[in-house]
Amino acid sequence: MRSGKWGIAVGHRRFVTIRPMQGAIEWETTAVLIVAVRDELHGVENRLKQIAIAAPKSDTDLFGIYYLRHADNVLIRVLLAKLPDPSQGGDAAAYITTRLLERYKPYFLAMVGLCAGDPRVLRFGDVVVASATVRHDHGKLETQTALRLPYLERFLKPRTNLKMTHRHAPLKVPDHLARRLSTFPEARYPSFKTRFGVMATGNQVIKVSGAFDYLRKHVMTGAQGDEYHRVLLALEMEAHAVAYAADKFRVPNWLVVKGVCDHADHHKSDEFHEESLQNALTVTLDILNDVISEDFLNQEDRKFAKDNEEKAQRAFQTGDLSSAREAAKCAHMLGRRTAMTRRRYLVGLTQFAEYDAARRTIAEYHQSLALYDHTTREAEARMLWRQGQYEEACQLLSDDVTEGHRQLLYLRAMCDLLMEEKKIHSSGADPAGFRNHIERARDLLIGALSIPNPGEPPWWIMVNLVLVQRLLKADASTQLHEYNRANVTLRDALRKAPDRGTPQLYLLLLLAIAGRRTEFDEEVRRLDGASRHVQVALEAVDMVYERIEILYRRGDLLEHEHYWTGICRWLRQTKTIGRPVRDATVVLMQ
């Protein structure tokens, strides 16, 4: 017995528990798994619960969502569905397959179930992997006159029989998949055989001795292609409908894998259903692991996704937010799931006010567990913060989560500060009597700055530390030291990338916080004619005004209207994207 890349045993009907999802995920892809009837559904569900992480679902067409991890850092989302009642036959199979393909656009589609196998080569428990599917009830039904006896026709009408003229219109699995599966090793399954060949589909349960002999003669005659496309191995009721939908939707990889539970004769029984189903599922999971996942990684799209990931990061660093968003969106669509791509993709969604899409994406990451890491948590907390949901953001940023993570500490500091300031303002209390939360924010920001990070110096944290020190009325030397550090770091960032909008916005905010009106006015004039190509996400403007307003309410920035007017004047010269979160900010900007 050997171990597969799932951390499970392959070549055996019993899988061991999947290992914990540790390490970075780089890719994600989707597989749709369809079964016909409820008994099969229960058998597949029980197996997947042993080897995968189950996730909640909201789609009524699905009976489960499961996450498997391939050893090469690929996360596979398995969507489990059953045919709608009455649940056998091509009509139901075509209906549910079409709905799922249209909605989820999977990389892999598989149907797992039971079939009748050719008694000449297959026994109960063996598995058939379809190389092609064909309808055995597709053709022309007409009458045919039996042997004519002219001398009796004056007394009797000629006897007629029904004649079925079959039309051979097979649907073949993709060529690249057929080549891999034609050499799929059978030796890995000592207790059953795996055969690659044709499945014939019809809407009837067949219980007629000699059915395979008849269909080989009348359906498979004239079949072309490799040997495995010319050998009829199984009869069943759904494969051709699934194949037809997959072909029309251009699914990259599709398969029908079924276990032999009878020989389509009068000896049919349910005795071998469970064993045959589990054998078919074993083969399907091994193909998903050893063939489909490898094929996914070797596609040209994966290189294109990596190129777009790098393009998104370069565009963001130069301030081209639109290009960063499009490149990250492309990389994400192609399955890239590194922390860099997820961060750029989620930030792009929120910057362009696509909050519903951001929430759906975060919810999907949360389901998988493997993708709900500090990067995703940061994006979720950031979105809640920008929308003024400070308490909800703080709940995500508990002490055990933020420890050792610079950006999470920063978010916790600001959410906590703004939440308490909002409570004080709504209560009508004198803010001068409250400073504990400001001290907590200062300590968290200082802690965040002490954490080494290979990225650019965190000027955004430095600016907010200047704000906090002014709220605390720290001594002049401390305030000057923090101001100079933030000022130098911001201007250095702008020298390297002069068209970045967010550092420019934060520089104006820094000058406003420090009350440096003359320098502020000079900076606005300097930027006035040099910001036509600068892109600024309007969602960030809410937070800028919030900081200025806090200082004004506490009596530390009496000229707040002057600074806000200057910032709005500069914004009118830039290319703003998205929209402010709060309607009040829109009014203030006019």
Cα distances (Å, whole numbers) of residue 390 to 273, 296, 370, 514: 55, 41, 26, 25
* Same structural domain, 57 and 96: yes
Instruction: With beta carbons less than 8 A apart as the criterion, state whether 424 and 580 touch.
Output: no
Q: Give me the DSSP letters along 97-116.
A: HHHHHHHH--SEEEEEEEEE
* Same structural domain, 322 and 435: no
* Same structural domain, 277 and 321: no
Beta bridge mates, 575: 535
* Same structural domain, 111 and 259: yes
Instruction: With beta carbons less than 8 A apart as the criterion, state whether 507 and 494 touch.
Output: yes
Task: Give the domain-ending residue among 298, 315, 331.
Answer: 298
Residue 143 pLDDT more than 80? no
Tens digits of residue pLDDT in 281-335: 999 999 999 899 989 999 999 999 999 999 999 999 999 999 999 999 999 999 9
Q: Would residue 492 count as lying in a domain?
A: yes
In this structure, what are the phi and psi dihedrals at residue 110, rounded to the nearest 5 degrees? -140, 140
* Same structural domain, 315 and 419: no
Question: Would you state the pLDDT for residue 153?
Answer: 53
Q: Would residue 383 count as lying in a domain?
A: no
User: Rounded to two decimals, what is the model's pTM?
Assistant: 0.85
Q: Would residue 378 count as lying in a domain?
A: no
Q: Would residue 191 count as lying in a domain?
A: yes
Tens digits of residue pLDDT in 450-462: 998 888 899 999 9
* Same structural domain, 206 and 118: yes
Number of separate domains in the chain:
4
Q: Label the pairing between strands 74-82 and 27-35.
A: parallel
**Closest among 145, 143, 172, 144 to 156, alpha carbons compared:** 145
* Same structural domain, 488 and 441: no
Q: Would residue 562 count as lying in a domain?
A: yes
Question: Would you state the pLDDT for residue 318?
Answer: 93
- Tokens 């192609």 locate to 334
* Same structural domain, 236 and 266: yes
Average pLDDT, integer, range 252-265:
94
Q: Label the pairing between strands 171-172 and 53-55.
A: unpaired
Q: Would residue 18 count as lying in a domain?
A: no
More confident residue, 214 or 90: 90
Distance (Å, whole) CA 223 – CA 184: 23
Tens digits of residue pLDDT in 525-563: 988 877 778 999 988 888 899 999 999 999 999 899 999
- Tokens 């892809």 locate to 29
* Same structural domain, 444 and 461: no
Q: Give me the DSSP letters along 311-354.
A: HHHHHHHHT-HHHHHHHHHHHHHTTB--HHHHHHHHHHHHHTT-
Rg of the chain on CA atoms, in Å = 33
Task: Give the domain-ending residue among 452, 476, 499.
Answer: 452
Instruction: With beta carbons less than 8 A apart as the criterion, state whether 370 and 75 touch.
Output: yes
Task: Give the domain-ending residue among 409, 424, 452.
Answer: 452
Average pLDDT, integer, range 125-138:
88
Range of the domain at 47: 2-13+25-298
Distance (Å, whole) CA 242 – CA 132: 11
Q: Would residue 264 count as lying in a domain?
A: yes
Question: Would you state the pLDDT for residue 570?
Answer: 93
Six token digits for residue 400: 């055990």
Amino acid at 487: N
Residue 361 pLDDT more than 80? yes
* Same structural domain, 135 and 149: yes
Distance (Å, whole) CA 315 – CA 247: 38
